Amino acid sequence: MNTTSESNAADLAVSLAGVTLDYGRPRSVFRALESVDLRISAGEFVSIIGPSGCGKSSLLRTIAGLEEPTSGISQIVAAPAERSFVFQESNLLPWRTALANARLPLELIGAEKSTRRKRCEAALERARFASADFQKRPGALSGGMRMRVALARAFVTEPALLLLDEPFAALDDLLRQKLNDELRRDWSLNRWTGVFVTHNVAEAVFLSTRVLVMSGPPGRIVADVPIDLPEQRREELRTSTEFTTLVRSVASNLKEAAT
């Protein structure tokens, strides 16, 4: 047997082969994904970009195991407890403090009570949420702070697979870039496998090891662009020629996908 394919198989985080996804079965069928083949290795950071309604969230939900393909094969190596989801809305429980919101996944998986507080505090710190605000409820937090709590809630179980659906779309540009910097740094340190849906080309390029461009519906992957940029992505990278060249290349693929 070929050793390269053996090690590739061992490193695989997600594999979709010939995946089709239909909604509304069996009466009115709407095809959201068609013939999707995708392999993501453990520790990659993959962004998905494409025109509105092309099927990005449907693909992300399939990768998360939240949608069962109508046909084809999906294989997700991380067990359900090792997967975390972050959405555009922070979806925090308004009656719980930041700390208690971040704790929720630990309660659901029945983690030891004695370690819960320590783990929540560590996750909130990892998401750069100020400790002075741990006891505040979502109503007293800004949009950026609420998103930090949502990130902490995702980090608290130390997931192997982190799925993010336009998490920073509602934030202003400066804060979005700051959270991009922090998320990329966290990925660099902890090497979870990341799958990130966005409409923002610069965000996709800055964060990722690879950008998938989709067209649709039905959703198909039409380009797979490797992002060969330095491991350390500092703010000044955004103005470099190598970065802007990649942004232009992804943008041109996106334009083609939208026509």
Ligand X SMILES: Nc1ncnc2c1ncn2[C@@H]1O[C@H](COP(=O)(O)OP(=O)(O)OP(=O)(O)O)[C@@H](O)[C@H]1O
Between CA 58 and CA 71 the distance in angstroms is 14
CA distances for 177 relative to 49, 248, 249, angstroms:
17, 18, 20
- Min. distance of Cβ 191 from ligand X in angstroms? 26
CB-wise, 96 or 199, nearer to ligand X?
199
- Min. distance of Cβ 49 from ligand X in angstroms? 9
Q: What backbone torsions phi and psi does residue 119 show, to the nearest 5 degrees?
A: -65, -40
- Min. distance of Cβ 32 from ligand X in angstroms? 4
User: 141: closest CA among 196, 93, 85, 84?
Assistant: 93
CB-wise, 121 or 166, nearer to ligand X?
166
- If you ran DSSP here, which 8-state letter would residue 132 be given? G
CB-wise, 32 or 86, nearer to ligand X?
32
- Min. distance of Cβ 124 from ligand X in angstroms? 28
CB-wise, 54 or 254, nearer to ligand X?
54
CA distances for 227 relative to 66, 206, 207, 212, 234, angstroms:
28, 9, 9, 10, 15
Q: How many CB atoms lie within 10 A of CB 223?
A: 18
Please answer whether residues 47 and 208 qualify as being in contact, where contact means their C-beta atoms are separated by less than 8 angstroms: yes
CB-wise, 104 or 222, nearer to ligand X?
222
- Does residue 220 sit in helix, strand or coil? strand
- Min. distance of Cβ 216 from ligand X in angstroms? 7
- Min. distance of Cβ 89 from ligand X in angstroms? 12
Residues lying near ligand X in the complex (CB under 6 A) are found at 23-24, 30, 32, 50, 52-58, 217
CB-wise, 54 or 202, nearer to ligand X?
54
Which DSSP string corresponds to 51-84?
STTSSHHHHHHHHTTSS--SEEEEEE-S-GGGEE
CB-wise, 207 or 257, nearer to ligand X?
257
- Min. distance of Cβ 157 from ligand X in angstroms? 25
Rg of the chain in Å (alpha carbons):
19
Between CA 193 and CA 46 the distance in angstroms is 8
